Structure 1
Amino acid sequence: MTKTVVPARTPAGAQEWIVHSSEDEPWTIRAVAPDGRSFEADGADLFLALQEVRRQIEQQGVLLCCNGARANARPSPLASASGGGMVYLLPSARNPGPEDLVPLLSPAPARHVSPVAEQEAFWSAYQSSTRSTLRTLSPVAPLARLARRVRRSPAWVAEEKEGVTMWRRASRG
């Protein structure tokens, strides 16, 4: 299990929760509150497991502030098949590209996260928009766009400190 510190928005204010995620099947997420309460779920991938954990903790008035909790976050079919540890932040004005791919559990600003119901509503609306979901989330489309681009996208770097994984964005040269 990988251990990650994830900020959370709670009725009592901001907190840091510890989120444990499996590194292979069965895909499991366990979120541990500062007071020791623990919430755990399994899923077909880490994204779906995270959604189930989020449903549990939302009943307590808590929102995890990570990329996987953004309304516009969704793994591609390829990312889902490999565990769902990376998600696309689906842009509204264009198709997603490699620059929109982010780690599931890396921190996100509290103003950008939403409850699971809002995330699902966004996804339903996105799928029924004029875009083709298959074209939008195709694992080949981002590679084709990347081949046409000169500029390289930023990379996410995991740093281990005392057994805890922290994510930071690093520019590629």
Structure 2
Amino acid sequence: MTTDFQIDALNIHTAQREEWHLQLTEEPTFGIKLARPNGAIWTAAGDDLFEVLKSVRLQIEPLSYLLLCNGARVDAHPSGMLRDMTGGSTLYILKMKRVPRERVFIFDRAEADTVGTVADQRDFYQAWLGAPKRWRLTDRARDAASEVWTRWRDR
């Protein structure tokens, strides 16, 4: 199956945006073909969409371009379970010292001030992993209410 996307790329030196074409293939492995309007093409393939996107991003970063999509957000990363269930197409938005709740599609548009390099994303993820996590009181209350409801319903 092949899916086409229009995706914005940002030149970090000139702050100009360009609309690029991204073609995604999902079988037998994930593949990305990224094309710039001037005809330049970058490709990558692999078992996990997040890793494939990261590979393409590493090819365009030396040219001073960042993709404006959730997969390039510094604070976005898939969990192991999301990688297994969605092939890395769904990511969590990570907040420091918080358990992740918000999920986003990897190719949905992201604002320029939220994206960064692969190294920026890796550094944020490592810092997030090392930070102690706190559940917000509302998260705990919602989970407790859900547990009570499930137990009552299933009795």
Please state which band the TM-score falls in when normalised by the shorter chain: 0.7 to 0.9
Give distance in 2, aligned partners of 1:58 and 1:28. Answer: 19
Alignment of 1:131-150 (within 5 A): 131=133, 145=143, 148=146
Compute the displacement of 1:93 (Å).
4.7
Higher helix proportion: 2
Give distance in 1, aligned partners of 2:70 and 2:53. Answer: 11
Contact 1:21 1:46 in 2 (8 A): no
- Regions of 4+ moved over 4 Å: none
Give distance in 2, aligned partners of 1:69 and 1:42. Answer: 17
Contact 2:49 2:89 in 1 (8 A): yes
- Which shows bigger deviation, 20-29 or 61-70? 20-29
Compute the displacement of 1:43 (Å).
2.7
Alignment of 1:47-126 (within 5 A): 47-81=50-84, 82-97=86-101, 100-126=102-128
Contact 2:57 2:118 in 1 (8 A): yes
- Give CA deviations for 1:47-94 in whole Å, capped at 9, x if unaligned: 110001000000111100000000111112122113111111112252
Give me the CA root mean square deviation.
2.4
Mark the runs of 5 or more structure 2 residues left unpaired by the alignment.
Answer: 147-155
Tell me which residue corresponds to 1:129.
131
Give distance in 2, aligned partners of 1:122 and 1:25. Answer: 32
Q: How many residues align?
A: 137
Given candidates 24, 40, 44, the residue that maps to 2:43 is: 40
Tell me which residue corresponds to 2:7.
6
Mark the runs of 5 or more structure 1 residues left unpaired by the alignment.
Answer: 133-140, 149-173
Partner secondary structure for residue 31 of structure 2: strand
